[in-house]
Every structure is written in structure tokens, then in C-alpha cells.
Amino acid sequence: MNYPLHLAILVLLWGYIYTSWSLMGRLGLVSFGHGAFMGIGAYTVVMLWNHFGLTPWLGALAALVFTAVVAVIIGYPCFRFRIVGHYFALVTLALSEVTRLVIVALRDQTGGSLGATPNGALHGDTVALGALQFAAKEVWLVIVFACWLGGLWVWRLVDRSMGRLALQAISEEEEAAASIGIHVTRAKLRITIISALMTCVGGILYAQYQLYVNPDTVSGIAISLQMVFGVIAGGMFVMLGPTVGAAFTLLLAEGLRLAFGNRYPALDTTIYGVMLVLFIIYMPKGILGAALDAFKRRPA
């Protein structure tokens, strides 16, 4: 019972994080920097807890403020100076790597590439609310489910707002959008901050659920690419697409692991890589996007 529960939690948690990324990605802001926001969330909370005994609730607040500051420092100049497309992707990629390297370089505090474990607060109890640690997976399922619903709700809010139309106009033709009075920098910055903060929350929950953080699994270019590709596989233009992507990639990895054991450790990523290439070439709307298109076409 624990294993399917664990899978469900991971699918929902990654589904939520992928959804956060898509808020920007589907409007033409392809970021390779979300690993940074996730890493900041995970590490700020764990470090404040381990070194100062600060409860993760306040730690989360600190992490959110920190994330917002970083998002503005990177986002504002990028948008102000019209850094778009390839350049935006590569600048944000630098941000991911800086975050990972800072975590590794501060190895006396963070444990470096070996990662770190939040100090245990359960002591035989099943719930340590102040430390945000829960032994029961059911509790986590409820938490991540609520979080995931919250993510979808934000998606819906954004979708129905004027801001979305503005951003869509910007992603089509930035100069034209600016000429009809859209404040390009402000519109982009707003969605970036929302997306970054949501990703930060994902990082916090991931760290508290796994009770382990590692610079390579919560920050850096690898995790940022994982987000981008999960979203592409699922489809970034429909609300449930990112979640479908998370479910698909996770179940593929677990399925192959069950089928072959640990004999072929990288088989899932190999297949995954090939599928991604095929997806982008033949099915750029992703699994869910293509399925919905096919469904719509049939009755007509």
C-alpha cells in the first residue's frame, strides 16, 4: 500500500511543479532556471531548521521572500532589456548552475554534493507539525493533493485574467504588444514571480517529504531540463498536461525499473530521450494535447 501511495504523492508533487513551470513556459518564457527556485526552497528551509532550529513554517516564508528577490533580480533586467528566446533560456540556465554550485561550495554548511538531512523531529511520533515532518504517507498525500489543486486553481485564474491575454500577445509579437499599451516588463515579471514562488513551495515540500536534499536532485541544469521535458511530454497548453507529463515520466521510469530491476540503470532516460525527440518533432502539443485534438476531431 505504501508504494502506490508514494507514487501518487510523487506524481502530484511533480505535477504541481511542472504546472508551475508551464505558467511561464506556455507563454513563451522558456526558463531553464526553475531548478534554482526549487533548490532555494528546499535548502533555505532545511538549513534554517538545521542550523538555527527555525520552524519550516517560518523557514518557508524566508524561502519565498528569497525566491521572489532572486526572481526579480534575474527577471527584471531580462525583461527590461528584451532578453528572449535562446538568450533567456541560457541566462536562466546560468542561474540554475549558480544555485547548484553555491550549494556545493558552501559544503561546510550544506553538506556539499553529499546532500543533507533535516534534523529528525518525530522521535517516535507520527506527526511533528512544527517541524513539518509527518511519518504517515496519507498526510503527505493530502498535502500535495491540496497543493496540486491550488496550482491548477492558479492556472485557471491566470488563464482567465487580462494578464494572460497580454502575455499571449507579447509572446506572439513583443513590439506590437508594447505598442498597444501593454506593459511588457510588468506583465512578464508578474507571471515569473508567481511561477517561481510556486516552484519554491514545491521544493520545500519535496525536501520535507523525502527528508533529504541534494544539490543535484533539487537544483542545477539536470532538474531544470527534467521539468521542461516533463511538461513537453504531457503538453503545456492544457491545464492537466503537466500532470499527465509527470505521471507519464514517473510511471515509465518505475515500470522499467520493475520490469528489469536495476540491471539497466539508465534505460528509462534513454527511452525518455528518444521519446522527447519524437514528441517535439511529431507531437509538439504533448500527450494530452494530442489526445484532446484527436477527440475533438472525431465527432465532426
Partner 1 sequence: MNEVFDIFLLEAVLNGLLLGGLLALLSLGLNLIFGVIDVVWICYAELIMCGMYTVYYLHVQYHWPLVLAMLAAIAVVALLGLILHQFVIRPVLSAEPINQLLVTGGVLFFLQAAATLAFGIEFKNLGVTLPSVRFGEMSFSGARLIAFGIALGGMVGLYLLLTKTYLGTAIRAISQDRAIMPLMGVNPARIFALTSALGGALAGLAACLLVLQYDIHPAIGLSFGPITFLICVLGGLGNMLGGFVAAFIFAQFIAVGGFFFALEWGYVIAFAFFIAVMFWRPRGIFGK
When binding is defined by CB under 8 A, the residue of 53, 120, 130, 284 that contacts partner 1 is 284
Nearer to partner 1, 255 or 265 (CB): 265
Residues 206-225 that bind partner 1 (CB under 8 A): 221-222, 225
For residue 170, give the nearest of 184, 191, 190 by alpha carbon: 184
The span of 38-46, 153-161, 271-279, 285-293 binding partner 1 (CB under 8 A) equals 271-279
What φ, ψ does residue 116 adopt, rounded to 5°? -145, 155
Q: Does 260 bind partner 1 (CB under 8 A)?
A: no
Pair 24, 31: CB distance under 8 Å: yes
# of chain residues touching partner 1 (CB under 8 A): 46
When binding is defined by CB under 8 A, the residue of 229, 235, 247, 285 that contacts partner 1 is 229
- Count CB-CB contacts under 10 A for residue 278: 10
Q: Does 70 bind partner 1 (CB under 8 A)?
A: no
Nearer to partner 1, 105 or 135 (CB): 105
CA distance 253 to 157: 33
Q: Does 200 bind partner 1 (CB under 8 A)?
A: no
Q: Where are the beta strands (DSSP E) in the chain?
A: 127-128, 133-134
In the bound complex, what is the minimum distance in angstroms from residue 272's beta carbon to partner 1?
A: 6
Pair 280, 232: CB distance under 8 Å: yes
When binding is defined by CB under 8 A, the residue of 81, 130, 176, 259 that contacts partner 1 is 81
Nearer to partner 1, 57 or 81 (CB): 81
Q: Does 120 bind partner 1 (CB under 8 A)?
A: no
- Count CB-CB contacts under 10 A for residue 249: 24
Which cell numbers hold the place of 97? 548552475
Amino acid, res. 71: A
Pair 228, 279: CB distance under 8 Å: no
CA distance 103 to 115: 9
Residues 137-156 that bind partner 1 (CB under 8 A): none
x/- binding map, residues 27-46, to partner 1, per CB under 8 A? Answer: -x-x----------------
Question: 3-state class of 270 per DSSP?
Answer: helix
Q: Does 83 bind partner 1 (CB under 8 A)?
A: yes
Amino acid, res. 228: V
When binding is defined by CB under 8 A, the residue of 11, 36, 97, 285 that contacts partner 1 is 97
When binding is defined by CB under 8 A, the residue of 12, 93, 169, 247 that contacts partner 1 is 93
Helix locations, the chain, DSSP H: 2-25, 34-52, 56-80, 85-105, 107-110, 137-160, 162-172, 174-179, 184-210, 215-218, 220-234, 241-260, 267-282, 286-297
When binding is defined by CB under 8 A, the residue of 12, 95, 189, 244 that contacts partner 1 is 95
Pair 226, 268: CB distance under 8 Å: no
Residues that bind partner 1 (CB under 8 A): 28, 30, 74, 77-78, 81-83, 85-87, 89-91, 93-95, 97-98, 101-102, 104-105, 221-222, 225, 228-229, 232, 264-270, 272-277, 279-281, 284
